[in-house]
Amino acid sequence: MRLAREHRLVAVMRRDLEQAWAFANKHGVSRAYDRVEDLLADEEVNAIYVSTPPYAHAENTIQAAEHGKHVLCEKPMALTQAQGRAMIDACRANRVQLMICYYQRFNARHQYIKHLLTSEAIGRVTAARINFSDYYPPSLDNWRHSSHLSGGGPLMDLAPHCLDLLRYLCGLVIEVSGMVDSLASDSPVEDTATLLLRLANGAQAVVTTHWSTANFEPDRLNAIELFGTKGTIIAAPINAKDSTGTVRLITADGVKNLSVSPASPRPHVALLETFGKALVTGEPIPVTGEEGLMDLAVIQAAYQSASRGGIVLKGTFQ
């Protein structure tokens, strides 16, 4: 936030006031609160970054909207589609903007891939594969392994980024089949999830999100692969917090290694600047609540499919 233009971090909130002040002092923030209500009452604050665990996203967003604050909300935007729709309705009713924190769209590598696809560098995309995985066993103090707080395992935690990136590059999902299991540990949430998807353009896609697989080369194996009638694009890692990494374009002309400069804007900074600019200029928000709702629809369909033996569910998922 310090690096982003159009932003100034003026207040933070945490339930433990001592820890809130420790964070504030570390990052040069002038005010700290231990109640959401006090933060929202701060007249200098005009936008809220909701980075609480998913169970609180809907409540926090609606509270912020009712106080006239714009919202940048972490993924998944909510636990259910009903909650997500209530968030969208509250922001619309109070004339504030809602943006979902999908930073992968602002990765310079992914934006370059978008350009390659638009220019038909690999022809028509017929298949895609995304893997976002690691070994992440449960621990007593980790909210991600609490179904009440997180809503689920890697399907809720990692799949939103994969689904948003897939939709950004290739279009809408219209069919979903899912397998969801706890294989590596006795966890109240799944640790292994695999999605088989059909896109609106007919392409097939596989998304794997695992907490059950030891990944000793995350910078290579957490990847997106796009297969077309004229070639293939392979890029990694998808979880990078900057835009560095590899992009390989494989066609009849051979293999091109398309590097991205480390000087490219960090995805989170680019996301924040885009959010801030939209609030100042009135330009459209690029990643709306409706976008987050699409991913929730696919995720809920995947859970439903898995509970019914992998049955294929069809729809527009939007």
pLDDT digit string, tens, across residues 286-309: 999 999 999 999 999 999 999 999
State the Cα–Cα distance between residues 281 and 287, nearest whole angstrom.
16
Q: Are the C-beta atoms of residues 238 and 162 closer than 8 Å to each other?
A: yes
The closest of 210, 205, 260, 253 to 236, measured between CA atoms, is 260
Mean pLDDT of 1-9: 86
Give the span between the Cα atoms of 211 and 69, in whole angstroms: 35
| Percent of the chain predicted with pLDDT > 90 | 86
Give the amino acid at 56. A
Confidence check: pLDDT of 147 > 80: yes
**What's the pLDDT band for 167 if we cut at 50, 70, 90?**
very high
Segments of the chain assigned to CATH 3.30.360.10: 108-265+296-314
CATH 3.40.50.720 residue ranges for the chain: 11-103+269-288
Q: What is the pLDDT of residues 255-290, one digit of tens each?
A: 999 877 766 778 999 999 999 999 999 999 999 999
**pLDDT at position 140:** 78
Query: For the range 89-94, what are the long-range contacts, defined as Cβ-Cβ under 8 Å and sequence gap of 24 or more?
Result: 90/61, 90/62, 90/65, 90/66, 91/61, 91/65, 91/289, 93/65, 94/65, 94/66, 94/68
Q: Is 239 helix (H, G, I), strand (E, B) or coil?
A: coil
Q: Which DSSP state fits 258? A: -
CATH code of the domain occupying 11-103+269-288 = 3.40.50.720
Judge whether 179 and 143 are in contact, CB under 8 Å. Answer: no
**Structural contact between residues 260 and 245, judged by C-beta atoms closer than 8 angstroms:** yes
Predicted confidence at residue 240, as pLDDT, reads 83
Q: Distance between CA atoms of 182 and 186, rounded to whole angstroms?
A: 7
Q: 108-265+296-314: what CATH class?
A: alpha beta
- Stretch 224-235: mean pLDDT, rounded? 98
Looking at per-residue pLDDT, the higher value among 186 and 152 belongs to 152
What is the pTM for the complete model shown? Answer: 0.95
| Nearest in space to 286 (alpha carbons), one of 29, 150, 159, 111 | 111
Pair 290, 89: CB distance under 8 Å = no
Report residue 103 as tokens: 């930073």
Q: Give pLDDT tens digits for 70-103.
A: 999 999 999 999 999 999 999 999 999 999 999 9
Give me the pLDDT at residue 187, please.
87
Please check whether residue 48 is in contact with residue 72, taking contact to mean a CB–CB distance below 8 angstroms: yes
